[in-house]
Structure 1
Amino acid sequence: MTVSSRAQSFDMAAAQYAASRPSYPPALFDAVEELTGGALAGARVADVGAGTGIATALLCKRGAEVIAVEPGEAMARECSRALSHVPVVRGDGNALPLAGASCDLITYAQSWQWTDPARSVPEALRVLRPSGALAIWWNTTAFDVPWIRSQHERITRCCGTRPRPATRPDDSDAVRLAGLTGLRVTRRQVRWTRVVSLDVHLANIGSRSAFLVLDETRRRTFFAGERKLLGESFPHGTVEESYLVDLLVAVRS
């Protein structure tokens, strides 16, 4: 399964993605402002791989002037429906449909891994203003929570994926951004939690690309077993999901 096909798989579950995916805590955007050295209020921001607009909406609430860039037709439609005041353009990080030197900040929420850095970094630098910055982040697995770690191990066995470290952008991302482009790179982690119903929790997991491209029989079998197992552990029908947001900010030095 190619990276491109997995990236495109989100279009099959746009509504499920919008309804179940976790958001981001206010402390994340505080950190973005601190590490970029600029306020989001009034900033011109391109949210690349915007999906259904989860990060886009929060950037708007902080007063940013946001344009959403999304390759998927269904995802872009969900974003436009939820955020009618935000311009949504079709495109991706490898070929941004934006004018040069037009943005103060480019954000990649859960989307950097779908780009080719050899293309996306030069594109970002083209679109950024001289004092601009990139902010890349992921909600990552909180492995120190035993039930979450156990579930992650079951997911990797089911989907045949490799277990990932608790941090998502690895050292090669930082080296590439800092060494090859002259950017000053800083990393920050922000922990947060949310309480959701078991249904929402399972829908969130099912919206991941590893499951969207999985054989239907294996997918159904996994979620039937997972519902039974978690139902026994959380008899009240709600779970507390813990996340560690891994943030990488690159500023022109």
Structure 2
Amino acid sequence: MAGPLHFDALAETYQQARPPYPEALWDRLRELEVLRPGVRVIELGAGTGEATMRLLGAGADVVAVEPGRALAARLRLRCPSARVVIARAEDAAMGEAQFDLAVAATSVHWLDLGVVIPKLRRAIVDDGHLAVWRTAFGDPRTTTPFRDRIDAIVARRVDEPVRPGPGELDTEGWARLLSSSGDFTVVHVDEFRWTIDLSADQVHGLFRTFSNWTASEAQAAAEAARDLGGTVTEHYVTPLILLRRT
């Protein structure tokens, strides 16, 4: 299983290939009034700014923490109004009561929560929030010919890489884990199901960024898309967990 800096070696591909988060997610964050003009946000594992751009666009003041230097360089170019800190979340100086909202977008499974959660509690104001979300690339409720081909590629693995933490769609498990220290309590859980059309080249780029996929497997996924007409419709799920500082 590759580590989080796997993405740093593929920074250009990551920026080009990763799809945006669904619009319904941003609507919900605004409805819950945690994302609003002037809100002070610390984002952990910001990557090349997939979430950062939307946070800034909503009027937030963002400190983006990213350990990968190549990713951070692209983040600075893409989001010049964000303050970018090159560091692991476990090592970053966060201060006390500096932020209204912490965000971990497709990064929480890389964090040492035993270290990060207490730091966030100190860094966030009373009644501030922690928002955690990620995209599961593949909705188990939906079967497609392309997903059948993907399952066949995965089935050929001798050793299946194991991601740290609960399963990708074990939203309840993540909610329990994130609140287990008592520093935060869960106040809202949601799941957004959405679709996206991807060309074979886009499939190759996206699957190349997955830390548990090899280069040859990503190529096989692209070939599957070409065999199925060159463009495939993918069905994805983005779970959201919102917690309040206790």
The Cα of 1:238 is off from its aligned counterpart by: 2.1
The Cα of 1:241 is off from its aligned counterpart by: 2.1
Match of 1:33 among 30, 33, 45: 30
Match of 1:56 among 52, 56, 72: 52
Q: Please, what is the CA RMSD of the aligned residues?
A: 2.2
Q: TM-score, normalised by structure 2?
A: 0.87
The Cα of 1:97 is off from its aligned counterpart by: 2.4
Consecutive unaligned residues in structure 1, runs of 5 or more = none
1:184 aligns to what? Answer: 185
The Cα of 1:224 is off from its aligned counterpart by: 4.1
Confirm or deny: 8 A CA contact 1:47 1:106 kept in the other structure. Answer: yes
Q: What whole-Å deviation, never above 9, does each CA across 1:193-222 have from its counterpart, x for those lacking one?
A: 2223220122101111123xx4xxxx33x3
The Cα of 1:178 is off from its aligned counterpart by: 2.8
Q: What secondary structure does 2:97 align onto?
A: coil
- Structure 1 CA distance for aligned equivalents of residues 192 and 116 of structure 2: 25
| 1:1-253 equivalence runs, <5 A | 1=1, 6-35=3-32, 37-140=33-136, 141-147=138-144, 149-157=147-155, 158=157, 160-161=160-161, 165=167, 167-171=169-173, 173-185=174-186, 186-211=188-213, 214=214, 219-220=215-216, 222-233=217-228, 235=229, 237-253=230-246
Q: What secondary structure does 1:189 align onto?
A: strand
The Cα of 1:31 is off from its aligned counterpart by: 2.0
Q: Aligned pair in 2 of structure 1 residues 134, 224: CA closer, same or farther (>3 Å)?
A: closer
Consecutive unaligned residues in structure 2, runs of 5 or more = none
Answer 1 or 2: which has greater helix percent: 1
- Structure 1 CA distance for aligned equivalents of residues 180 and 219 of structure 2: 47
Larger deviation, residues 50-59 vs 83-92:
83-92
The Cα of 1:93 is off from its aligned counterpart by: 2.3
Confirm or deny: 8 A CA contact 1:191 1:244 kept in the other structure. Answer: yes
The Cα of 1:77 is off from its aligned counterpart by: 0.6
The Cα of 1:46 is off from its aligned counterpart by: 1.0
Q: TM-score, normalised by structure 1?
A: 0.85
Confirm or deny: 8 A CA contact 1:142 1:166 kept in the other structure. Answer: no
The Cα of 1:155 is off from its aligned counterpart by: 4.7
**Alignment length (residue pairs):** 239
Confirm or deny: 8 A CA contact 2:199 2:225 kept in the other structure. Answer: no
Q: What whole-Å deviation, never above 9, does each CA across 1:45-102 have from its counterpart, x for those lacking one?
A: 1111000000000111111111111001111011111112221111222233222111
- Structure 2 CA distance for aligned equivalents of residues 79 and 43 of structure 1: 20
Q: Percent identity?
A: 28
The residue type paired with residue 221 of structure 2 is E
Larger deviation, residues 187-196 vs 117-126:
187-196
Q: What secondary structure does 1:201 align onto?
A: helix
The Cα of 1:25 is off from its aligned counterpart by: 1.7
- Structure 2 CA distance for aligned equivalents of residues 155 and 6 of structure 1: 22
